[in-house]
Structure 1
Amino acid sequence: MKTWKTWGVVALSGALIILSWITGWDWLMIVAAVVAGWQIAVSAVQALRIKMISIDLLVVVAAVGALFINNYWESAAVTFLFALGKALERATLNRTRKALSDLVEAAPETATLLRDGEPETVEIWELVPGDVVLIKNGEQIPVDGRVITGHGGVDEATITGESVPAEKAEGSEVFAGTWLRSGLLRVEAVGIGSDSTLAKIIHRVEDAQDDKARTQTFLEKFSRYYTPGVMVAALLVGLLAQNVELALTLLVIACPGALVISIPVSIVAGIGRSAKDGVLIKGGEYLETAAKVDAVVVDKTGTLTNGRPELTDVDVLDPAYTANEVLTLAARAETASEHPLAEAIIRGAENRGLPVDMVEKARPVAGKGILAQVDGLEVTVGSADLLEKTPDNARILELNDQGRTAMYVGVNGAAVGIIAVADTVRADARKAVSDLHARGIRVIMATGDAERVARNVAAELGVDEVRAELMPEEKLDIVKELQAKGHVVAMVGDGVNDTPALAQADIGVAMGAAGSPAAIETADIALMADKLPRLPYALGLARRTVRTMHVNIGIALLTVAVLLAGVLFGGVTMSIGMLVHEASVLLVIGIAMLLLRPTLRENVPVAGSPAKETARQALTA
């Protein structure tokens, strides 16, 4: 209704101006000025009530003054063009907020509740935590929850910005507002309505888009003094030149509309674009700060690496055995172990399609490994102390130097192979580091892990500096040290032991924040997907947004300067000035809207490629 009212006023005023031209009746111009200027006058009065002299007041004074000097066309033109500019401005601003409206529209309204095993359609507000909901192929997931039974592919684009469906099975997390594209799921509700991840994202984006950047705050203070100054200057010029029309024209020309709108429209567009791509930026102030980041401190475990050990090597020492046979023996022996590395060995065998059956009998040996009976053979996995004959340990030392944990696999007291496990580097970590370097950003790895392990990871990724064997407070010291040298620092960590450093950093970044309400609420930048390359993307988008703000400010100031010169020396009229003024407003909005273009480019592994499983794990982590 408000949209129709706005455009209806513009259309009626324009029609009256055209009729006046056709008929030659001046009174139609007066009516056109009143129709277009009525809402402008109301806004001006409302601003005066809170002791603020607004741009609207400048337009009203100029339009009324033009009527008094019988310049009816100028009065109608000024109010019509200003009303048209406001309508177009509102329409384009609504478009820049489309990312938020898309999120709001993504919020589900109903759910299929399983009550005594029978499906029943209910409103979202009727659900309580612990309820079990049924989601069929093609349906929207109504709650945050945990999959109890079923398997399927879920489109999580509204939450993480991912275009590839994430595979979900028993125990997986799902989020309200996402869509089940294949399969059937039964989900236990955990977060409902305002407690869901989607609701928290909407709340955060809404607050962020309304948040003011430092530049915007400065310009608002500037315009608070600028507008009264313009009125005083116009009055003085009019008195000195004995020219009322010149004074009124100066009022119109000096309107700082483009200047005032240049910052908020850029912030709304930049934050809206990032939200659509799964990156939440807390507000305009953080957007400006992120654009200045020139040093990034990154935790290793779970950020640069996958955060869990994986099988990396299987070496054969006895030619009577194949690599698969060595691995099968080790994995079967480890089925009786509770050691943290046992799971990595078993998982490595299963990923190769090897059978991993439980062993008949096993005995862990504290600090050395495990001894097990496998198909009548005595199999050991661990240190050389479990073997009857000490083998050459050169390969073990080589693997250890590479930051891997290596173990002998023995059969009946003789070594037949070596297996090694390690926390592997993320598949996308090298690209993330490279992208940060391309933006001139220094990358410092800070970890509590051993120096040897840290340096191997750093060498593989090409980070600029390594700090290892750190306590949490020492990471804080690194951030302070960089800031003391004049760096603007972003800290990326898991939000637990890195909390002091995250709080000290100019920008705290949470990665993989989907499903973590605390991270969404507290981080300055939250990367919803567990993908490190989103960090350089976010910093790059922040730089583009700030650059757009500066370009728009320049255009706004240049327009005012040229028009003022045109009025004083070139005979620019009130109506032409308002036309150029409104054109400049639309130009800065149009430039800001370029930020809405999708620029996130990520390689999507194709079916059957070696990276497919890595991508699947990253999506479902």
Structure 2
Amino acid sequence: MQLKILSQKNRITWISGVLIVLGFIFRFGFNNLTIFNITFIIASILGAAPIAIQAYQALRVKVVSIDVLVTIAVGGAFLIQNYEESAIVTFLFLFGGFLEQRTLNQTRSAIKELTEIAPESALKLMDDGEFEEVDVDDVDEGDILLVKTGAKVPVDGTVLTGEGYINEASITGESEPVGKEKGANVFAGTILENGTIQIRADRVGEDTTFGKIIELVEEAQDSKSEAERFIDRFSKWYTPAVLVLAFFVWIFSKDVELAITVLVLGCPGALVIGVPVSNVAGIGNGARHGVLLKGSEVIHDFSRVETILFDKTGTLTVGNPEVAEKIYYGTNIDEALGYLASIERESDHPLAKAIIKDIGETNYSPVVDTEVVKGGGIVATVNGHRVAVGNVALMEKENVEFSKQALLDVKQFEKNGNSIVLTAVDNELKILMGIRDQIRPGVKADLRRLKRLGVKNLIVLSGDNQGTVDLVSKELSLTEAHGHMLPENKAAYLKNLQEQGQIVAFVGDGVNDSPSLALADIGIAMGSGTDVAIETSDVVLMNSDMSRLPHALGLTKATANNMLQNIVIAVGVVLVLLASVFFSDWMNMSIGMLVHEASILAVIFNGMRLLGFKLKNRGQSNTEK
């Protein structure tokens, strides 16, 4: 019975409203007090039913909720035969709940939009060689799928044949179509705007990037910050305190109606809902703009960040280095290049790829006894020769002698901003390569915007040589630059800043820098929604787009301010209402409930403003250098 009544709460609200209007018509239009009282009695009983049920359910779990206060107030008004007050109060309370739910649903629209565009079916290659439409849940890793123009990509996968342009707005927040051809990665939930492609399913279901985004945003919107937890604790004590206050008002004034009015006006509805609605709206805005914020605690901490540390490669730079300069020493260089290529082709490191690309066609040899030297490079045996590939420190460890000219060459390469890769064969230096990466387009403007948002220190930490790091720092006007930093060095540097009382964010690729991402007050992953980036960090900037970082910081600051505004509105309205009860003649229960519901809607609408938040001059980051 209780569930049936609660399920009809909206219908009860409208019936109560109609009865109240009819009552006023018969009173003022026909001067019929009997029908007036009957309609208001029915409206009071109908309206009080769902409220009383909710109050009972709250008391069963030992919670004195707002519904308890309203139920007592309405019951008291009914007993003193103030049917007009009891009917209006129940209607306003129910109507306020109706509007509250509708507006809250709008703040969760980001999640709703995401779930609505989730793919439901796929064209799967069957055993007979034909493609058949199946439910997306029936797709397994390794299956071959066909995606036609206008269709949603059903899974994360790799393009096997065909080409086309895909709208990746659901993943990156950008609606500009991205060209895809053989070997390219595609993501579930994106839309093939033109072309036809066949893909291999790499990740399916909840394991896809799209699935993880939905899961993360849902978890974030359900999370609670310290402010919300404080308000929850406060409400548990505040609501009983209002009951006690109303009791003493009745004892000392002997005025039942005044005590009932205190109960209604003291309801902390706006206070309870003000912070969560800001949190939900802020996270929803981030999801729409390719920024995943993992909860309101992240919003609170991120909004107060003073120092941001950056990894260099793939964060401030494009992460696509190329060989810019090279010098050969001694004889048998072609043989040495072949040994170098043989070693580097076994590595996925960006520098290795740059070296392979530069060497081009060569004779490869078997590589054995490979030893990775932490922070130095690689030593291996190729065709019976001991080959060392790495930095100056590795060469010194291998007792490789440097001529005066070679030392000058290394210094000049570093001065030019190169990452140094040296190759020695049997302890004899053969090859010096200088590899450079390009600074991300627009990143300089993005960093300026971070400073305008109040970030005091912008620091780059890199495993690259100091000369390269200094050049990047100078071009981007960074506060500090530190090279030759291993992952543990970065973590130690970060920890030292925290011990000085600074609130520190770290921006990295989510793989090599996972210790720093985990240790930082706010770990920010640059990456196209990779597993490591999503799972390690507090904030994920989809599509490795640095321009989303200022938006993320501005959004968290706006959200934190919005939460504070809602608290001030909620507390201020309650104080004004209670003061009006004791120091004015115009305040009554109906007016109090009307203002109370208006305050709830005020904090909801104030929070909803965050859904449309856009950082000013955002577009400049795409043009400024």
1:406 to 1:542, Cα distance in 2 relative to 1, 3 A: closer
Deviation for aligned residue 1:5? 3.8
Q: What are the superposed Cα offsets for residues 169-218 of structure 1, whole Å, 9 maximum, x if unpaired?
A: 11111111110012111000111222222111111111110100110100
1:183 to 1:3, Cα distance in 2 relative to 1, 3 A: farther
Deviation for aligned residue 1:590? 0.5
1:188-203 to structure 2, matched below 5 A, reads 188-203=200-215
| Structure 1 equivalent of residue 64 of structure 2 | 53
| Structure 2 equivalent of residue 477 of structure 1 | 492
Aligned residues of 1:509 and 1:527 also touching (Cα < 8 A): yes
Please state whether the residue corresponding to 1:292 is helix, strand or coil. Answer: coil
With 124-133 and 45-54 compared, the bigger mean Cα shift is at 124-133
| Structure 2 equivalent of residue 13 of structure 1 | 16
Which of 148, 164, 172 is 2:160 aligned to? 148
Aligned residues of 1:490 and 1:509 also touching (Cα < 8 A): yes
Residue 40 in structure 1 maps to residue 55 in structure 2: no
Q: What are the superposed Cα offsets for residues 449-486 of structure 1, whole Å, 9 maximum, x if unpaired?
A: 11111101100111111121112221112111111221
Residue 293 in structure 1 maps to residue 305 in structure 2: yes
Question: Which whole-Å CA distance do the structure 1 matches of 2:544 and 2:446 have between them?
Answer: 12
Question: Which whole-Å CA distance do the structure 2 matches of 1:43 and 1:7 have between them?
Answer: 14
Residue 204 in structure 1 maps to residue 207 in structure 2: no
Which of 216, 228, 237 is 1:216 aligned to? 228
Residue 251 in structure 1 maps to residue 263 in structure 2: yes
Deviation for aligned residue 1:421? 4.6
Aligned residues of 1:445 and 1:465 also touching (Cα < 8 A): yes
Deviation for aligned residue 1:517? 2.5
Residue 428 in structure 1 maps to residue 431 in structure 2: no
Please state whether the residue corresponding to 2:124 is helix, strand or coil. Answer: strand
1:176-575 to structure 2, matched below 5 A, reads 176-310=188-322, 338=341, 344=354, 400-404=414-418, 421-441=435-455, 442-514=457-529, 516-571=530-585, 572-575=587-590
| Structure 1 equivalent of residue 174 of structure 2 | 162
Deviation for aligned residue 1:343? 6.3
Q: Given residue 434 of structure 1, which amino acid in structure 2 is its aligned partner?
A: R
1:237 to 1:313, Cα distance in 2 relative to 1, 3 A: same
| Structure 2 equivalent of residue 125 of structure 1 | 137
Deviation for aligned residue 1:303? 1.0
Question: Which whole-Å CA distance do the structure 2 matches of 1:345 and 1:34 have between them?
Answer: 81
Aligned residues of 1:92 and 1:589 also touching (Cα < 8 A): yes
Aligned residues of 1:162 and 1:529 also touching (Cα < 8 A): no
Aligned residues of 1:507 and 1:525 also touching (Cα < 8 A): yes
Q: Given residue 156 of structure 2, which amino acid in structure 1 is its aligned partner?
A: D
Question: Which whole-Å CA distance do the structure 2 matches of 1:206 and 1:513 have between them?
Answer: 20
Please state whether the residue corresponding to 1:496 is helix, strand or coil. Answer: coil
Deviation for aligned residue 1:519? 2.5
Aligned residues of 1:269 and 1:595 also touching (Cα < 8 A): yes
Deviation for aligned residue 1:345? 8.7
Question: Which whole-Å CA distance do the structure 2 matches of 1:185 and 1:420 have between them?
Answer: 39
Aligned residues of 2:5 and 2:49 also touching (Cα < 8 A): no
State the identity as a percent.
44
The alignment yields a C-alpha RMSD, in angstroms, of: 3.3
Q: What are the superposed Cα offsets for residues 281-337 of structure 1, whole Å, 9 maximum, x if unpaired?
A: 1111111111111111111111111223136689xxxxxxxxxxxxxxxxxxx9998
Deviation for aligned residue 1:246? 0.3
| Structure 1 equivalent of residue 377 of structure 2 | none
How many equivalent pairs are there? 549
Please state whether the residue corresponding to 1:510 is helix, strand or coil. Answer: strand
With structure 1 as the length reference, what TM-score do the two structures score? 0.82
Question: Which whole-Å CA distance do the structure 2 matches of 1:604 and 1:117 have between them?
Answer: 50
| Structure 2 equivalent of residue 322 of structure 1 | none
| Structure 2 equivalent of residue 172 of structure 1 | 184
1:159 to 1:250, Cα distance in 2 relative to 1, 3 A: same
Question: Which whole-Å CA distance do the structure 1 matches of 2:439 and 2:188 have between them?
Answer: 31
Please state whether the residue corresponding to 1:194 is helix, strand or coil. Answer: helix
Question: Which whole-Å CA distance do the structure 1 matches of 2:605 and 2:60 have between them?
Answer: 32
1:552 to 1:363, Cα distance in 2 relative to 1, 3 A: closer
Question: Which whole-Å CA distance do the structure 1 matches of 2:338 and 2:44 have between them?
Answer: 85
Question: Which whole-Å CA distance do the structure 2 matches of 1:610 and 1:151 have between them?
Answer: 32
Please state whether the residue corresponding to 1:424 is helix, strand or coil. Answer: coil
Aligned residues of 1:454 and 1:466 also touching (Cα < 8 A): yes
Question: Which whole-Å CA distance do the structure 1 matches of 2:222 and 2:158 have between them?
Answer: 33
1:11 to 1:363, Cα distance in 2 relative to 1, 3 A: closer
Question: Which whole-Å CA distance do the structure 2 matches of 1:342 and 1:473 have between them?
Answer: 23
| Structure 2 equivalent of residue 377 of structure 1 | none
Question: Which whole-Å CA distance do the structure 1 matches of 2:501 and 2:132 have between them?
Answer: 61
Structure 1 regions of 5+ residues with no counterpart?
315-333, 349-355, 365-390, 408-417, 612-621
Q: What are the superposed Cα offsets for residues 130-158 of structure 1, whole Å, 9 maximum, x if unpaired?
A: 11000011111111111111111111111
With structure 2 as the length reference, what TM-score do the two structures score? 0.81
Q: Given residue 439 of structure 1, which amino acid in structure 2 is its aligned partner?
A: L
Residue 112 in structure 1 maps to residue 131 in structure 2: no
Structure 2 regions of 5+ residues with no counterpart?
28-35, 327-336, 345-349, 366-404, 422-431
Question: Which whole-Å CA distance do the structure 2 matches of 1:140 and 1:363 have between them?
Answer: 43
1:128 to 1:277, Cα distance in 2 relative to 1, 3 A: same
Q: Given residue 430 of structure 1, which amino acid in structure 2 is its aligned partner?
A: K
Residue 587 in structure 1 maps to residue 602 in structure 2: yes
| Structure 1 equivalent of residue 25 of structure 2 | 22
Q: Given residue 260 of structure 1, which amino acid in structure 2 is its aligned partner?
A: V
Please state whether the residue corresponding to 2:122 is helix, strand or coil. Answer: strand
Deviation for aligned residue 1:433? 1.5
Please state whether the residue corresponding to 1:40 is helix, strand or coil. Answer: helix
Question: Which whole-Å CA distance do the structure 1 matches of 2:5 and 2:175 have between them?
Answer: 35
1:176 to 1:7, Cα distance in 2 relative to 1, 3 A: same
Question: Which whole-Å CA distance do the structure 2 matches of 1:57 and 1:405 have between them?
Answer: 69
Q: What are the superposed Cα offsets for residues 92-123 of structure 1, whole Å, 9 maximum, x if unpaired?
A: 00000000011111111111112243121111
Q: What are the superposed Cα offsets for residues 491-520 of structure 1, whole Å, 9 maximum, x if unpaired?
A: 112233322222221111111141x23322
1:2 to 1:154, Cα distance in 2 relative to 1, 3 A: farther
